[in-house]
Amino acid sequence: MKFASWNVNGLRARLKEDFMPAFKQLNADIFAVQEIKMQSGEAILDLDGYKQFWNYGERKGYSGTAIFSRIEPKNFSYGIGVEEFDSEGRVITLELENFFFVNVYVPNSHNLEWLERRMAWEDYFRDFLTDLDKKKPVIVCGDFNVAHNPIDLKNPASNHHSAGFSDEERGKFSELLNSGFVDIFRQRNPTLTGAYTWWSYLRKARLTNAGWRIDYFLISERLSEKISDATIENQIFGSDHCPITLKTYPL
């Protein structure tokens, strides 16, 4: 089974040129997108063979997620049960036969001005995932808006106290992993440098690979032996993020 995740930074913009070629190239069984920045009815996608799940943010042009799945889920839900965040369309969960699949767009702490709000989110979301994990294994993907360790960004020293690389955000990510989840790309590539998923539009950052790895597939620990590959698709352009993929043996 193949999964893909991509923060598209505005799906309407990507649909003009970049999205469908990437969608077809990646050929995923389940394709998750974040930061769609759309409202209901603003775009109709003709994706033959895929069920579509959309979670729009109430605020126009902000946040939002979607999942396109070849597999009919047993059930699906939107949000984590906390209205402050659920109104922003940040989470979609599909319940499949043997696992849960969760797509997430984690709130940005915006120059740490929203750090307290981000910390609250982290606790709510970790509780949400661990509750799911008690029922069956979890695959969660998306834009987590944090580079976990210095290896996960080009310039860790100068960004030490920046949003996305603060001690507080990194600590919460560690707490999530310690609650029973695996950053599968880093587990498979423990010393690989230069592996990034987001680049600023400024200063030709993508051209020089001055990036951050802030997009992840996390899996329940007991799924580790079921993973055949985890990749960063940095040859695909369009957004300021690139897609990431996960391949599994039968689940």
Is residue 44's pLDDT more than 90? Answer: no
Q: Name the pLDDT band for 43 (thresholds 50, 70, 90).
A: confident
Give the model's pLDDT for residue 203: 87
pLDDT digits (tens, 9 = 90+) for 153-201: 999 999 999 999 999 999 999 999 999 999 999 999 999 999 999 999 9
Across the chain, mean pLDDT equals 97
Query: At 196, is the secondary structure helix, strand, or coil?
Result: coil
Residues in CB range of 188: below 8 A, 6 or more apart: 227, 229, 230
Longest dimension (CA), the chain: 47
Q: In whole angstroms, what is the distance from residue 216 CA to residue 138 CA? A: 13
Average pLDDT over residues 215-238: 98
CATH numbers and ranges of domains, the chain = 2-248 (3.60.10.10)
Candidates 49, 46, 44; CA nearest to 72 is 49
Q: What are phi and psi of 106, to 5 degrees?
A: -75, 140
Q: Exposed/middle/buried for 249, CB within 10 Å: 0-12, 13-18, 19+?
A: exposed
Candidates 183, 113, 116, 97; CA nearest to 148 is 183
Alpha helix (H) residue ranges in 16-158: 19-26, 83-86, 115-133
Q: Annotated active-site positions, please?
A: 105, 143
Give the model's pLDDT for residue 114: 96
Q: In the chain, pLDDT over 70 holds for what percent of residues?
A: 100
Is residue 59's pLDDT more than 90? Answer: yes
Angle at CA 115, nearest 5°, toward 102 and 80?
25
